[in-house]
Structure 1
């Protein structure tokens, strides 16, 4: 796992590369190196987990005509190494990244189709026609930001790293505010700054020194496979967890107390004796508290549980560092819980943490899926998209200045683009919903957050439910086994039920959460902090939001009308502005 950065098409000063390196040190504290050529440069900060004595980056082939850097983990690298050996290619050591460059030389651009894992890859090919090539894994688990200008292209794993390589002054993208309120984040392909993009799920970019071309793979829904049974899913998950946990370093698992993480805890506990579960709680008594379930799940898995408590008094001091670590605004309050949890996991000297992200999007675990399946009118798509927004579209548009609304109406707002992405029909409505969430909502809202918050503490977050084989299985699973109007994530419950305690099997589902309603109650420290942040927001002085409308939100919440999620979201966006 690493942080990568670089440029192509025009030269950058050594100090710019060093600044990009320094901006991303937490994600690669073990070794930093870069290589520069004529109008190109590649750099890598390494978090060494798999065979630290090998796999030093940047990689180069024998004659120096191809160079590469890589962030992520390739879990089938040993099979790739055996394939390379069959072609007479010897790969030194046991590092997963070491197979990438010779594999590219063997298969060309299509080598990524054979990779199983999570990755962002940058490669400079100086052979016939100089090219920079960037790749993202199929679900964009690992982030990569880039900017294309007349001077070429620059890229980095984090916005701060890219800022060091940019030649111009960053400006806030006028459409970013609308994107954020519509998605609760900036969707894949977008960023807070004009001209800065992020690689989308499975995207491939090629820059020839003058122009960039991008390609996103087009996939069609496979036919349902009756062979996709709970037993096969159970075996698949066990196999994925096994090959994802081969390193010698001890393993942590984020244990919420729900099905997804409890299954991972049991599978890890069966394989290793050095697994520790971590669970986050929040000071006080809250309906969302899951500590009892987490303790039951850890005991069932036979692993110790570390409980981390977030105290009310420390909240204002945590918000700023969390926003900085995110790099891109994210409105989900539980981002704070994740930030603190990864911080404490790092303090215990862990470098690998398994998380359950992706299970709901793969197998239909959210209530909104059942609601959409039950809808009989033509407005279900709009209601579904409202469920994904910070607040419904009609409500957040009332916050805009007349001028900002007019700009969006002329150019087309974020909701119009979301409708286009959701619109292409699949063979069935459920797969239409899951494909939308899997390729757009999951990477932008969940996986980017995981990548940035974990790497801010030098932790590699591993996501078994986002493995390509699991995605393929989920897409081929008949809809009735995933979600119906009355049951959600059915096949995973059937496969994972025997792996979790009775208390987890019979509990009501709830998301990994942060009790924002309680901590943002008027009179609390967080409320005072939020009202101070939003007292004279730059969001208003820049012409995006009406100052009077923001004041109305705060006044409404002050008299106990529940505006906590909106207040939180506006606070995070305001603090994210440069």
Structure 2
């Protein structure tokens, strides 16, 4: 795993200062502490920071092709590089190294942009073709690896693995995109459709850019998508056997490394499945690690211990407590953009723990999105059936009236907290799912804003990108559309961003076997009943893993990586909650209503409402903006 950066002059062949590229790379030294390199030529400069995983002594970057006509800077791993290498050798290619980087170069020279469909892995890379005077930027199918880019005031295009890399360039203008603030308050992260800074973009997952010198800069083009429009046929036994085969292949392919390897183990279905299959494929005990909490109601380390004992892993665990939030500034700095998924803290801690013994760790991320493991997806499937029984106008009248009248009872048992469900049923399936996925709805955000923000935002609404994505999804059912949105919007924006930044902060490579694209495509083709059965999500996955995992792991209620933020903001972090209303962000930008924020904090501290997610978002927004040194 590595960090890449570069500068390209698309219109004129101007020289690139290698020192600028070097500084962009050095801002991301945590992504690659084992080596660095910079290469420049008229109109182009590529830089690289290396974390050595395969071919430790070879494969320095930027790397030249065997004939010297192409140059690569690459972040990621290609799991099928040996198979591709053999195929390319049969067609005449020759290789000087034993790693995957040179295979990418040869694949580009043999197949052009079509090389992407041949690559099985996680990646973001840049290839400069000296003959065609073309810069090829590409990102993997699901967005495991990030890539930011921008057009600078001198006409050049700069790109980097993290926003930090672009921030190191003196020509980058640090001006906040207020629409991205609205996105952040809606979702808790800035999705791939935007960046917190005006003029900065993220290359979307499954897209590439082909930039030719002397021609107009082209827009990103999609090279991969997942379709939920087809349905696989077969008995449950046959589908289960195929799924287990795909799972085994995905796990085994990601166990190839020339450095120590281990796994994250939360005790949930997904990470436990990965550890079970790793143990099956390994000749030695798997190294596992987990993180617990000092609040018993959200601590799941006992389940992780159960799996560790079952598979005799070398297991270690640690506890995260309220004192760990002294690191909040460091957490914010990892992400550059505001990021309010509170599980970033324990994810970072488990990465630190893993890095003490291994350089590569396998995670269980991706199964919830692919196999319908989130409670919201199961609810949505049931809600869609209810919507189909009643005309939209009647639904809107009945459920809208009930939803507005129903009290917001955060303190009540889940079965009595029906307000969100009633309001969702009054809307279309897409609007209802956006409501369920959001942290703050559009009306709630409007109540937080001051006059300046309302004026600048006008009719902008963060939900529109998600609802449009769902409406245009290659899908048959409402469940399909919800999962498509989670794979294309939530997964790269939240889950994969969290894992990439926290693992790279400690120079750890995290691999996601459950995001193998063949596995994702298989899951998308399953009938709804193989994904959701009554109130059970991930139905086929759980049935398939019964031979490996006990029922109290497979069928206990899903909890997720929950952090006890609500309790901490009523106790030792109460002063942090109160401070937001008086912060520089609120006082100087004019974006927010200070009195409204103060009321939210006091209501939460008094236990009248659970406003923890809103308060945490505002805390993280303030930390992020102060770290960016924004200019107006």
TM-score by length of 2: 0.87
Between Structure 1 and Structure 2, whose CA radius of gyration is higher?
Answer: 2
Q: 1:461 aligns with which of 510, 533, 537?
A: 510
Which deviations, in whole Å up to 9, do the C-alpha atoms of 1:282-314 show, x marking residues without a partner?
22x331110111100111122022111123223
Q: 1:167 aligns with which of 167, 171, 181?
A: 171
What is the aligned partner in structure 1 of residue 146 from structure 2?
143
Structure 2 counterpart SS, 1:44: strand
Shift of 1:338: 0.5
Structure 2 counterpart SS, 1:72: strand
CA contact (8 A) 1:373 1:485 kept: no
Specify whether residues 385 and 313 from structure 1 end up closer, same or farther in structure 2 by C-alpha distance, changes over 3 A only.
Answer: same
**Whole-angstrom CA distance in 2 between matches of 1:71 and 1:5:** 10
**Whole-angstrom CA distance in 1 between matches of 2:155 and 2:433:** 42
Structure 1 counterpart SS, 2:547: helix
Q: 2:361 aligns with which of 334, 353, 358?
A: 353
Shift of 1:352: 0.6
Q: What pairs with 1:118-517 in structure 2 (closer than 5 Å)?
A: 118-128=122-132, 130-149=133-152, 151-165=155-169, 167-209=171-213, 210-217=216-223, 219=225, 220-227=227-234, 229-272=239-282, 273-283=284-294, 285-316=295-326, 318-346=327-355, 348-375=356-383, 376-377=386-387, 378=392, 379=427, 380-410=429-459, 412-424=460-472, 426-517=475-566
CA contact (8 A) 1:241 1:267 kept: yes
Shift of 1:540: 4.8
CA contact (8 A) 2:166 2:172 kept: no
**Whole-angstrom CA distance in 2 between matches of 1:281 and 1:520:** 19
Shift of 1:569: 1.3
Q: Does 1:551 align with 2:598?
A: yes
**Whole-angstrom CA distance in 2 between matches of 1:168 and 1:267:** 46
CA contact (8 A) 1:154 1:166 kept: no
Shift of 1:539: 4.2
Shift of 1:242: 0.8
Shift of 1:484: 4.2
CA contact (8 A) 2:366 2:514 kept: yes
Which deviations, in whole Å up to 9, do the C-alpha atoms of 1:521-576 show, x marking residues without a partner?
1x41x232343355324145213222222112112112112211111111111111
Structure 1 counterpart SS, 2:566: helix
**Whole-angstrom CA distance in 2 between matches of 1:314 and 1:366:** 28
Shift of 1:107: 0.3
Aligned length: 571
Which deviations, in whole Å up to 9, do the C-alpha atoms of 1:314-367 show, x marking residues without a partner?
322x11111111222221111111111112222x13111111111000000011
Please, which moves more after superposition, 9-18 or 358-367? 9-18
Structure 1 counterpart SS, 2:122: strand
Specify whether residues 539 and 142 from structure 1 end up closer, same or farther in structure 2 by C-alpha distance, changes over 3 A only.
Answer: farther
CA contact (8 A) 1:250 1:274 kept: no
Specify whether residues 536 and 194 from structure 1 end up closer, same or farther in structure 2 by C-alpha distance, changes over 3 A only.
Answer: same
Specify whether residues 431 and 166 from structure 1 end up closer, same or farther in structure 2 by C-alpha distance, changes over 3 A only.
Answer: farther
Structure 2 counterpart SS, 1:256: coil
Which deviations, in whole Å up to 9, do the C-alpha atoms of 1:170-215 show, x marking residues without a partner?
1111211101012211111321100001111111112224523321
Which deviations, in whole Å up to 9, do the C-alpha atoms of 1:450-495 show, x marking residues without a partner?
1111011000110011111111111122221012442211011011
Structure 1 counterpart SS, 2:600: helix
What is the aligned partner in structure 2 of residue 569 from structure 1?
617
Q: Does 1:6 align with 2:6?
A: yes
What is the aligned partner in structure 1 of residue 421 from structure 2?
none
**Whole-angstrom CA distance in 2 between matches of 1:275 and 1:151:** 50
**Whole-angstrom CA distance in 2 between matches of 1:89 and 1:63:** 10
Which sections of structure 2, spanning at least 5 residues, go unmatched?
A: 393-426
Which sections of structure 1, spanning at least 5 residues, go unmatched?
A: none
**Whole-angstrom CA distance in 2 between matches of 1:277 and 1:528:** 37
CA contact (8 A) 1:482 1:488 kept: yes
Structure 1 counterpart SS, 2:183: helix
Superposition RMSD on alpha carbons, in Å?
1.8
Structure 1 counterpart SS, 2:168: helix
**Whole-angstrom CA distance in 2 between matches of 1:218 and 1:114:** 11
CA contact (8 A) 1:534 1:574 kept: no
**Whole-angstrom CA distance in 2 between matches of 1:436 and 1:386:** 13
Specify whether residues 393 and 413 from structure 1 end up closer, same or farther in structure 2 by C-alpha distance, changes over 3 A only.
Answer: closer
Which deviations, in whole Å up to 9, do the C-alpha atoms of 1:372-410 show, x marking residues without a partner?
111223513223112221233322221011332233234
**Whole-angstrom CA distance in 1 between matches of 2:77 and 2:229:** 27
Please, which moves more after superposition, 527-536 or 57-66? 527-536
CA contact (8 A) 1:145 1:158 kept: yes
Structure 2 counterpart SS, 1:520: helix
**Whole-angstrom CA distance in 1 between matches of 2:487 and 2:170:** 31
Specify whether residues 448 and 166 from structure 1 end up closer, same or farther in structure 2 by C-alpha distance, changes over 3 A only.
Answer: farther
Structure 1 counterpart SS, 2:604: helix
**Whole-angstrom CA distance in 2 between matches of 1:406 and 1:533:** 22
Shift of 1:268: 1.2
**Whole-angstrom CA distance in 1 between matches of 2:263 and 2:172:** 41
